């Protein structure tokens, strides 16, 4: 089955026909009871390599995203350290110009496309069904496909690296320098096709998030009760659906220019090199917010837990999240202020680039007010979230500075822009991500991470980050251009580059401390219990780690903080209303989930969820081989692999054998 089948729920849920049953108030399935064992058998993946390849469990996929993205982060970090060795002193010869071009290109590609968004997709894949009160994502097989394509796209992009033929025109890949006349090897072809392949993963993943939000929320979870992480990922997903086609088109047109003989970017034959920049930045600037907004959502949901109070200004923060992405689509020209854009356009896009600071400021003041009015507990996650707020302000201010056109003209293509980019894409992403791992590690594994190692790692990371990247602002103001592989000793850049290189290695040491803590805690971490942080959201209402089916009883909600009811006065919640976390809908007659109405989250349908399948894996394999054939010019091979894709899709869509229906087990017989 390619997507969930649906069965209508009767208006009176208590008298609904099988397979829907209603639990009594405060009822719960006993662990090991016949019903609980039946649910586990239905949802658990097969053991061994078969289950590893075929599982569609969102929790497994989420953890795979996290692990794979961190591997790419380490690879990008190693590339950065090699470059910093080259730039630590003037006239260095550690790298040749061509090696340096390949390193800084792959560093940018890795950090921006293979780490920043995928790591947030890992959090969202794991957490969305848990915080929404669902059993899985709306399209589980599509979820698996998005991961496998992401993995193979990353391998595809790195495949040419050992042969010395990696992409070498920068992650922005400007035409005509990326054209065939300047780069005759497979470097740019690999990048172009790899980005189109990666765009498929991003697109199908984004569609899955949006449909999951619209149809898979727990009863009672109206739009104003959703966690801010959900708002952030929803907004990023919507932005991706609009932005990714632009860059996919740009890369496909470039590939045709190089391999088929078209002239979209060839000025000598009527093409327009500036078209590349428009298509690329229409994508790349909204993409910046796609890799920031879910991270901001992590902070908005987890920071209040350590302040012992709800987030200040939930409504304005949710609204500012959406507004940031909307405005983000009308600021791409500020990357092109130096390209001869008309004055009227410069004024409009300069103003828009300043206005976008307003919704970001709303979120910043909300975090500060939450800390100020709360009772902060200085645990490791809180330190990372508080550090993020400071880095967010620095990165935001340096971005607003470049919105002033004359100032931007002076700083275009200098290290000031590099500094801003790293504060935005590394500081504002890595610190919430590591803080989020410390916060949800008990949910992932059932164990706690070390407070002592965590605090040491935070301070090393925080100091190393600022020592590494803040001096880049100074280097840019001193006129150091970006993308140079060496410099003369009389330029006045020696000290700032040496400090930056030292800070980079200090930051790397902080990452190493975090990884050591992670590995040790997996084996020896203190057992965490179900809710070690006393957090208020749904994912903490079930065991840690969660069972394969997530919720034995799909809960009903009456507030934004169901686990803090009775302790806080929540606006909009009637005094007699209480979330029914152990009372709701027991769906135990197959692989089923509850579908709800989009706005009000009222129960609507029973979703017959598709089971585990090898089809997503093989479809991703054949798709990657199609793009490999295109990169090598092996048209027959690419056609054969395309046929393999068609077969995989047929297997994917082939109807499954209907599950045998049983009569609902009586509540008392189920061990409740």
Residue of 467, 426, 418, 519 lying closest to 67 (CA atoms): 519
Tokens of 315: 């409504």
The angle at the Cα of 493, spanning 422 to 284, to the nearest 5 degrees, equals 25
Say how far apart CA 303 and CA 309 lie, in whole Å: 9
Whether the CA torsion 36, 37, 41, 42 is positive or negative: it is: negative
For 614-644, the DSSP string reads SHHHHHHHHHHHHHHHHHHT-HHHHHHHHHH
- Confidence (pTM): 0.92
* Alpha carbon separation from 4 to 1, 306, 639 (Å, rounded): 7, 38, 31
How many of the other CB atoms lie within 10 Å of CB of 32?
A: 9
Residue carrying the six token digits 């794991």: 126
Residue carrying the six token digits 């470059």: 83
Tokens of 320: 């500012």
The angle at the Cα of 533, spanning 301 to 584, to the nearest 5 degrees, equals 75
Asked if 203 and 243 count as a contact pair (C-beta separation under 8 A), the reply is: no
* Alpha carbon separation from 317 to 312, 328, 558 (Å, rounded): 9, 16, 21
Residue 186: predicted pLDDT: 87
Say how far apart CA 281 and CA 247 lie, in whole Å: 8
* Alpha carbon separation from 320 to 213, 363, 373, 586 (Å, rounded): 19, 7, 21, 37
Say how far apart CA 558 and CA 578 lie, in whole Å: 6
Say how far apart CA 257 and CA 275 lie, in whole Å: 13
* Size (the chain), residues: 672
Say how far apart CA 282 and CA 330 lie, in whole Å: 8
Helices (H), 89-186: 97-109, 117-132, 140-159
Residue 110: predicted pLDDT: 95
Residue numbers in the chain where pLDDT is lower than 50: 1-27, 573-576, 659-672
Residue 36: predicted pLDDT: 79
How many of the other CB atoms lie within 10 Å of CB of 483?
A: 13
Whether the CA torsion 23, 25, 28, 29 is positive or negative: it is: negative
């Amino acid at each position: 089955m390619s997507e969930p089948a649906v069965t209508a729920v009767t208006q009176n849920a208590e008298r609904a026909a099988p397979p829907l049953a209603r639990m009594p108030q405060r009822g719960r399935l006993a662990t090991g009871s016949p019903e609980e064992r039946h649910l586990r058998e239905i949802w658990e993946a097969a053991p061994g390599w078969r289950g590893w390849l075929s599982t569609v469990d969102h929790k497994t996929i989420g953890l795979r995203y996290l692990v794979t993205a961190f591997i790419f982060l380490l690879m990008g970090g190693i590339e950065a350290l090699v470059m910093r060795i080259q730039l630590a002193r003037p006239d260095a010869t550690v790298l040749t110009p061509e090696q340096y071009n390949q390193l800084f290109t792959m560093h940018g590609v890795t950090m921006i496309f293979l780490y920043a968004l995928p790591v947030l997709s890992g959090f969202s894949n794991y957490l969305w069904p848990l915080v929404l009160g669902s059993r899985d994502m709306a399209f589980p097989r599509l979820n698996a496909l998005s991961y496998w394509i992401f993995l193979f796209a990353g391998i595809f992009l790195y495949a040419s690296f050992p042969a010395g033929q990696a992409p070498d025109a920068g992650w922005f890949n400007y035409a005509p320098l990326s054209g065939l006349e300047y780069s005759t090897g497979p470097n740019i072809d690999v990048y172009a096709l790899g980005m189109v392949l990666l765009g498929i993963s991003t697109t199908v993943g984004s569609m899955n998030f949006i449909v999951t939000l619209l149809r898979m929320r727990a009863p009672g979870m109206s739009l104003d009760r959703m966690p801010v992480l959900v708002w952030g990922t929803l907004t990023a997903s919507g932005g991706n659906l609009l932005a990714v086609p632009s860059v996919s088109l740009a890369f496909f047109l470039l590939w045709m220019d190089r391999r088929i003989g078209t002239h979209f970017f060839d000025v000598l034959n009527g093409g327009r090199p500036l078209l590349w920049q428009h298509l690329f930045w229409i994508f790349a600037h909204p993409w910046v917010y796609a890799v920031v907004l879910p991270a901001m959502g992590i902070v908005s949901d987890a920071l209040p837990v350590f302040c012992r109070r709800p987030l200040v200004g939930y409504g304005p923060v949710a609204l500012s999240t959406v507004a940031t992405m909307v405005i983000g689509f009308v600021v791409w020209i500020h990357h092109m202020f130096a390209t001869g854009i008309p004055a009227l356009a410069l004024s409009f896009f300069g103003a828009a680039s300043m206005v976008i600071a307003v919704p970001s400021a709303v979120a910043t003041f909300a975090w500060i007010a939450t800390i100020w009015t709360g009772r902060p507990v200085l645990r490791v996650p809180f330190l990372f979230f508080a550090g993020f707020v400071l880095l967010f302000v620095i990165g935001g201010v340096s971005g607003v500075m470049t919105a002033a056109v004359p100032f931007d003209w002076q700083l275009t293509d200098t290290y000031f822009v590099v500094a801003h980019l790293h504060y935005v894409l590394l500081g504002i992403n890595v610190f919430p991500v590591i803080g989020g791992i410390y916060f949800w590690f008990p949910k992932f594994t059932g164990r706690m991470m070390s407070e002592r190692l965590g605090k040491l790692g935070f301070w090393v990371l925080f100091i190393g980050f600022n020592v590494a990247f803040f001096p880049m602002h100074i280097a840019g103001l001193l006129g150091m251009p970006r993308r140079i592989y060496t410099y003369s000793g009389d330029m006045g850049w020696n000290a700032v580059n040496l400090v930056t290189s030292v800070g980079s290695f200090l930051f790397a040491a902080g990452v190493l401390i975090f990884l050591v803590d992670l590995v040790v805690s997996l084996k020896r971490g203190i057992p965490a219990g179900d809710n070690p942080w006393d957090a208020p959201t749904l994912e903490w209402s079930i065991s840690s780690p969660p069972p394969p089916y997530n919720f034995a009883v799909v809960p009903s909600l009456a507030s934004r903080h169901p686990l803090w009811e009775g302790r806080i006065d929540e606006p909009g919640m009637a005094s007699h209303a209480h979330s029914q976390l152990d009372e709701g809908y027991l769906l135990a007659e197959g692989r089923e989930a509850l579908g709800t109405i989009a706005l009000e989250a009222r129960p609507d349908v029973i979703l017959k969820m598709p089971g585990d399948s090898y089809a997503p894996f093989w479809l991703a394999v054949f798709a990657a081989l199609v793009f490999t054939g295109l990169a090598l010019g092996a048209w027959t091979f690419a056609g054969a692999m395309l046929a393999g894709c068609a077969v995989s899709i047929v297997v994917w869509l082939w109807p499954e054998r209907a599950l045998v229906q049983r009569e609902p087990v009586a509540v008392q017989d189920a061990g409740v």
